[in-house]
Structure 1
Amino acid sequence: MTYVDPTSPELLADDEGPQRATFRDVVMAYVGLTKPRVIELLLLTTVPVMFFAARGVPPLGLVVATVIGGTLSAGSASVFNCVYDRDIDEQMRRTRRRALPRHIVTPAAALVFGVVLGVLSTVVLALWVNPLSAVLSVSANAFYVFVYTMLLKRRTTQNIVWGGIAGCFPALIGWTAVTGELSWVPIVLFAVVFFWTPPHTWALALRYREDYAQVDVPMLPVVKSARVVALQIVIYSWVMVATSLLLWPVASTGLLYPIVAVVLGAVFLAQAHGLHRRAKTSDELSVLQPMRLFHSSNLYLSLLFVAVAIDPLLH
């Protein structure tokens, strides 16, 4: 999926006043509210689990329905997040070009859009997948909006640790879409994503810690030194890699998955320890280079779940 940024400079007000947004501008603004890049990552942990649950290729219609329902649900949660956080988004460099801070879309219109997406996702999953998957999707949506966005994000340094639970649900939804029930296998994959989220998010927060400090969002890199944050990243990374290896005995996978998990885990741990070593010498971004770990974390999760999908095809 190609992501088109609806917040490009062409849509900003010029020196003579605000420019009139075109129909395409508005459409792309609504697309941007759903955070397509986040959706891509969530679907990446949904579809491979469906392959693993089916021990092969799942029915195409079921995959399509799950992807559509999951996309609508994740998009709905992101829209609600954008509506609630529009005040701080307007002040942060990373987010001030979003549709709401730039007044391309009104909060009321965005709220209606989010509700419509949420209702459609629930209908699609309930009718064409199964009720359990629909319930899990609604639960993930509600957790992200009410627990993370409204309760935790602006109050505690543990915001993304516990708030990140919402991003773990796709593993459960992918499994239940095929089997209609839960088991230890998706719970292990749920835990992998849970322990992956802090290193992934804290690396990004190190890069934008001044933004978070400006709006009083207590991300860990805002209230703790880079050295402390990097140590936490190392700890979570080790637990994540150990958890990923649990899938081998729990699910009786073939050899492909544990080999890939070990190799990817070793690379990830090397990146995490590298960040920690650099953090011991300086807090400067030019020295820390936290985005190296951030991009590596995306690659790690992507390839690990690709291995989850391919392993049963070979086993």
Structure 2
Amino acid sequence: MTTTVPEAQAGAPVPSRRRSVLLAYLALTKPRVVELLLVTTLPAMFLAERGIPSPWLVLVTLVGGAMSAGSANALNCVADSDIDAVMHRTKSRPLVSYEVPRRHALIFGIALGVVSFLVLWLGANLLAATLSVAAILFYVFVYTLVLKRRTSQNIVWGGAAGCMPVVIGWAAVANAVEWPALVMFGVVFLWTPPHFWALAMKYKDDYVRAGVPMLPAVATAKQVSIRILLYTWATVACTMLLVPVTSWVYVVCAIVAGAAFLIMAQRLHAAVRRGVGYNPMTLFHLSNSYLTVLFVAIAVDAAVGLPVLG
């Protein structure tokens, strides 16, 4: 009897299998999350420089920052593989689908973290490199392993790790952490709950199934929408603290974008309160655009070099 070797196991498709493996490791880093984090890093560098920083420093910081975020995300996938397996939104992740062995993913995540530290240390400075390691450790050990499975405020405090790119970007340029960097940290910190809770409202049943006390899984839709609205107001208010170090370009963009963000949050809350149909993903997608517009405005404002209002 002859045994037919499946084409997928033959020699010809090896390049495609290698490509599949590379894509699986890339998926561990959650590229879309990394992309959003880098959107906040570059403007922080521009504002710290009050102009356009050295292209080499920008490249090093973005590469090191991407590796740092990728490391945290890969280690998060390792720690959360049991949760990911029962959530529809995450059941196709590489560890759940056995595309990447758990041990290999752990080594990959640690290696990325080590390399990111070296890249930032050698290419920028020790402060930026140290902050990147702190962000990885906080995200993995404080948020993923402690807060996520124990409190409905998990994303509020755990989201601090996602705020670190602005501080890292500022530190890479200034070799210090000054108050505008802390304000930008605060903006992202306050933005994270309404952004993520909107997504969690959509996937509430996933979190219930996984036993993760994300706020929409343990509170009523009205309680969640009220908190989303309050955090949205706090976010927009915090953006105004950057007025002393920016010009009218940033202020106009912050007001217009903030108004759109507030209107959408208010509409979500109003729909929930009236008990009519609503789509929280509209707010989720708008929140991404809001943060992008806000930080692009910061970069443009700094690059153009108009007189600051402060």
Task: Find the partner of 2:279 among 281, 289, 297.
Answer: 289
* Percent identical residues: 52
**Bigger radius of gyration:** 2
Task: Find the partner of 1:144 among 120, 134, 139.
Answer: 139
> Which residue does 1:260 correspond to in 2?
253
Aligned partners of 2:278, 2:126: CA distance in 1, in Å? 46
> Which residue does 1:5 correspond to in 2?
none
Give secondary structure in 1 for the equivalent of 2:176: coil
Shift of the alpha carbon at 1:24? 1.3
1:236 aligns with 2:231: yes
Aligned partners of 1:180, 1:132: CA distance in 2, in Å? 6
Q: CA deviation digits over 1:144-186, x for unaligned, max 9?
A: 0000000000110000000000000011011111111111000
Q: How does 1:1-315 map to 2 (within 5 A)?
A: 22-249=17-244, 251=245, 253-282=246-275, 287-314=277-304, 315=306
Q: Structure 1: which 4+ aligned runs deviate by more than 2 Å?
A: none
Aligned partners of 2:32, 2:291: CA distance in 1, in Å? 14
When normalised by structure 1's length, the TM-score is 0.91
User: Where does structure 1 lack aligned partners over 5 or more consecutive residues?
Assistant: 1-18
Shift of the alpha carbon at 1:313? 2.4
When normalised by structure 2's length, the TM-score is 0.93
Q: CA deviation digits over 1:220-251, x for unaligned, max 9?
A: 001111111000000001011000011002x2
Q: CA deviation digits over 1:107-159, x for unaligned, max 9?
A: 00000101110100000001110000001100011000000000000110000
Give secondary structure in 2 for the equivalent of 1:45: helix
> Which residue does 1:7 correspond to in 2?
none
Aligned residue-pair number: 293
Aligned partners of 2:125, 2:32: CA distance in 1, in Å? 26
Shift of the alpha carbon at 1:53? 1.0
Aligned partners of 1:152, 1:280: CA distance in 2, in Å? 29
